[in-house]
Structure 1
Amino acid sequence: MLNFVAVLEEGSKASSTVDDKLIKDIAKGSMEALHTLYEKTHKSVYAFALSITKNTHDAEDILQDTFLKIYQKAADYTSYDKPMAWIFTIARNFALMKIRDGKKEGSLEDDNDLPEQEFSFVENLSERIILKTTINKLDDNERMILLLHAVAGLKNREIAELLDMSINTVLSKYNRTIRKMQKYLEEEGF
């Protein structure tokens, strides 16, 4: 059986802490601080947006919009020693706007056509399709926890803090998600 969680984790192992100083430096106009923040957090923000929208194109747009908004609103940031919560709030707002706008237009794409860059670290195209299909069968919380852990490289305690859940809830949901994915794969003959 394919170990898709191990395959997902190959996509990102990095998890970095972000402190308020970066946001304050961005507020002073430091492009270097913005670049550093982007390098430390872009995988997490992308995985978070993807878990909400289920669409790679929308997640990429949200990633870009989020960092533009961070640059524009860094001066308004109020320090609570949780800059990632602030960043995720911005990303979540853009994701919800994207979904709402898509429903208004009646053109929310299904994204069944697998773009090349999605899970590009999985070399076999059929395995990529199976991985995407299996992940899309998960509910929103399961998908979010899995992608934040496996793609963004966040630790369970970081996910718990970002999603305002207890560590035990995150651990149980993650383990349940892994079992659920294994069941889906077994049903498909893997």
Structure 2
Amino acid sequence: MMLVLGAMAQEARAANPNGELEALIGGIAAGSREDLAELYRRTRAAVYGLALSYLKNGAEAEDVAQDTFVKVWAAAPSYRPQGKPMAWLLTIARNLALGRLRTAARIQDLSEAQWSAFSIESDSLTADDRTVLAAALGRLSDEERHIVVLHAVCGLKHREIAQFLGLALPTVLSKYHRSLKKLKTILEGDDAQ
């Protein structure tokens, strides 16, 4: 399963080179609906995954994902290329998710069905793998899950995650490695809980 997480991180980084995403955002700023559709196609799983990790509700995460791309359409003209278009996109999604949490003032537990609805586009991940991975990720703390999802699914580097979550880089690194050890223990069935 750890190999699956590593493969997913490589796929996310390979599928979303910064130059191509910045070109798409530039096209969106010029009014290209085709570029918006392409950006959506390439990044929807990462945006939805991040929203789901915060909201723990599939329907609300879908709403935030849609709102993210609406906001991207409106904000694209003000985007300034800095080599981090995915971080910009995920910051929009995170801010919308946090706003929804503040407004709702409640957090629901994530059900198995909602996690299984989180589709990760990977040829190496079967439906059974998704179910097992979702159950294991559900046993991590919110912060641990955010760090793992941002790295393994969204393809962000640890220093980008640290900036994104407002944590120190050593904290992100240690929490990531502890989370992987915890996941390994859970997936191997040696969990003492």
TM-score, normalization: structure 1?
0.74
Aligned to 1:83: 85
Q: Does 1:123 align with 2:127?
A: yes
Which deviates more, 93-102 or 154-163?
154-163
Aligned to 2:46: 44
The equivalent position to 2:153 in structure 1, one of 138, 151, 168, is 151
Cα distance in 1, alignment partners of residues 82 and 137 from structure 2 = 33
Cα distance in 2, alignment partners of residues 158 and 101 from structure 1 = 27
Cα distance in 2, alignment partners of residues 113 and 44 from structure 1 = 19
Structure 1 residue runs of 5 or longer lacking an equivalent are none
Cα distance in 2, alignment partners of residues 21 and 93 from structure 1 = 23
Deviations 1:70-107 (A, max 9, x none): 0122122234443223212211111012212222xx6x
**Kept in 1: contact 2:91–2:164 (CA 8 A):** no
Alignment identity in percent? 39
**Kept in 2: contact 1:138–1:177 (CA 8 A):** yes
Q: 1:166 to 1:41 in 2, by over 3 A?
A: farther
Aligned to 1:137: 139
Deviations 1:130-162 (A, max 9, x none): 543432232233111211233334454654565
Q: 1:113 to 1:123 in 2, by over 3 A?
A: closer
Cα distance in 2, alignment partners of residues 102 and 9 from structure 1 = 34
Cα distance in 1, alignment partners of residues 169 and 41 from structure 2 = 26
Q: Does 1:94 align with 2:101?
A: no
Q: 1:154 to 1:187 in 2, by over 3 A?
A: same
Q: 1:75 to 1:118 in 2, by over 3 A?
A: closer
**Kept in 1: contact 2:56–2:108 (CA 8 A):** no
Aligned to 2:191: 187
TM-score, normalization: structure 2?
0.73
Q: CA deviation at 1:17?
A: 2.3
Equivalenced residues, count: 181
For the aligned residue pairs, the C-alpha RMSD in angstroms reads 3.1
SS at match of 1:111: coil
Cα distance in 2, alignment partners of residues 122 and 163 from structure 1 = 30
Cα distance in 1, alignment partners of residues 38 and 156 from structure 2 = 17
Structure 2 residue runs of 5 or longer lacking an equivalent are none
- Which residue identity lines up with residue 12 of structure 2 in the other structure? A
Q: Comparing both structures, which one devotes a greater share of its residues to helix?
A: 2
